[in-house]
Structure 1
Amino acid sequence: MSESARLLELRRQEEELVFPSFDQHDAWRLGSLIANHAIAENHGVAIDIRRHNIVLFRCVLPGVTSDQQEWIRRKSNSVLRFEHSTAYLTEQFSDYDPTQGGWLAPEDYTLAGGSFPIRVQGAGVIGAITASGLTSDEDHQLVADGIRDYLQTLA
């Protein structure tokens, strides 16, 4: 079975967007960069960066509802469990929803796009960066573009 073009694109994106290292200072700078972009675009989003259960950055912009807290938690859980972006997982599981049928609890996981793994060279996935408030694709793009922009500042 061949992979879809979108799945291959998302895999390449994950392979490209890898951090040389990542600490609390990186979380602040990256989160601020994404938040400033969202503010400039007048996006009502919540942005969360976590290292497993420790929140390293959180920003809630005007227009966000309490639902975004739950979406962030569930998206982050999915990334931390599978070590892939929720956009990748959505594409990978396009014919089967693992939150149905007892595999993954739908109250704890979702495949909605907008969460991306924090992958560090030599260490693997150490956390997740999540946006919620736009469409799944827009949430994903906001995070991926933010990571790409941030990594370029490190080069």
Structure 2
Amino acid sequence: MPSRDDAIFDEAEHLERLRAQERLLQFESFDYDDAWAVGSRLRDGALEQDLPIAISIVFGQQRVFHAGLSGSSADNDGWLERKFNVVRRFNEASFTVGTLFRSRGTTFEASSRLDPNQFSAHGGAFPIRVRGSIVGIVGVSGLAQADDHDLVVEALTWLRGEQ
């Protein structure tokens, strides 16, 4: 059985991989058409796989894309908002923030001192960076947190390759 120190080390390695993703997935521009393209790609892929997810993209406080697919619910919209609040507060992906706390041997819920009704450091919300500055957030809710995160990363990686 792995020790607690091994788990912390694994989380520290995972944290570095997540931060490397964030450094890589930056754009020279990201506009409303890009938001539509990313959101549509997420929706189309989720429909093909019959995934019960909600997808949202925001620029500041403006929701520029939203889709709730069969099997998702208003609860997923609530999760998205709590994940988005984490990105706004910490300037990193929600999965990165949760992993940061786990790499310290604790959890976000136990140590952040933030209201869990307002903040959730579960995977699925990823900052949209243009030349280093966060201009928006793309998020998915409805699957396991690593799967939510991976869907968003795949869509942003696709867009980056298209640009």
Runs of 5+ consecutive residues of structure 1 not aligned to the other structure: none
Range with greater deviation from structure 2 (99-108 or 5-14): 99-108
Q: 2: CA distance between counterparts of 1:91 and 1:98?
A: 9
Name the SS of the counterpart of 2:73 in structure 1: coil
**TM-score of the two chains, using structure 2 as the length reference:** 0.87
Higher helix proportion: 2
* Maintained 8 Å contact 2:98/2:108: no
Per-residue CA shift, 1:105-155, capped at 9, x if unaligned? 111100111110011115x1111111000110100000000100111111x
Q: Hey, what does 1:120 align to over in structure 2?
A: 130
2:39 is the alignment partner of 1:26:
no
Change (3 A) 1:33 1:102: closer
Q: 1: CA distance between counterparts of 2:53 and 2:160?
A: 22
1:106 paired residue among 101, 108, 116: 116
Equivalences, count:
153
Per-residue CA shift, 1:52-110, capped at 9, x if unaligned? 21101001110102210110000011011111111111110113344446731111100
**TM-score of the two chains, using structure 1 as the length reference:** 0.92
- Compare CA radii of gyration and give the structure with the larger one: 2
* Fraction of identical pairs, as percent: 33
2:51 paired residue among 43, 47, 51: 43
Q: Hey, what does 2:68 align to over in structure 1?
A: 60
Q: Report the AA paired with residue 93 of structure 1.
A: F
Q: Hey, what does 2:5 align to over in structure 1?
A: none
Change (3 A) 1:110 1:44: same
Q: 1: CA distance between counterparts of 2:81 and 2:162?
A: 28
2:106 paired residue among 82, 96, 109: 96
Q: 1: CA distance between counterparts of 2:33 and 2:158?
A: 16
1:148 paired residue among 132, 153, 157: 157
